Amino acid sequence: QEDRIQLAIKALNAGQVPSVRQAAHLFSVPRSTLQLRVNGKPARKDSKVHMQRLNPQEANSIEKAIYQLDAWGWSMSIAAIEQLATELLIAKG
């Protein structure tokens, strides 16, 4: 749905579609959501990024470590993952 919303916004900005209502219908997205996004409201997945203690790159590095250890046959417990994240936050300051 996010891709369709972005396409609808691009079509509106390019003048290819005259109204939010028509763009919502054409791209099969909720009109209210499209209207909010056109007015500048961020997507839900982007709205709380600033509240996360780990940035996306740090979370990705933990995820890669988990997959690598699992590939080696060493699965991590939830407590071990929490400890890894805590150590990363402590090192970060």
User: Which of the 8 DSSP states describes residue 19?
Assistant: -
Q: How far apart are CA 44 and CA 27, in angstroms?
A: 19
pTM equals: 0.54
Domain extent for 69: 52-92
pLDDT per position in the chain (93 positions), as tens? 889 999 999 999 999 999 999 999 999 999 999 999 999 888 877 777 677 788 889 999 999 999 999 999 999 999 999 999 999 899 988
Residues 40, 61 within the same domain:
no
C-alpha distances (whole Å) from 60 to each of 16, 25, 36, 64 are 38, 36, 30, 6
How many folded domains does the chain comprise?
2
The domain spanning residue 26 has which CATH number? 1.10.10
Residues 72, 38 within the same domain:
no
Q: How far apart are CA 66 and CA 74, in angstroms?
A: 9
Q: What tokens were used for 65?
A: 């470590």
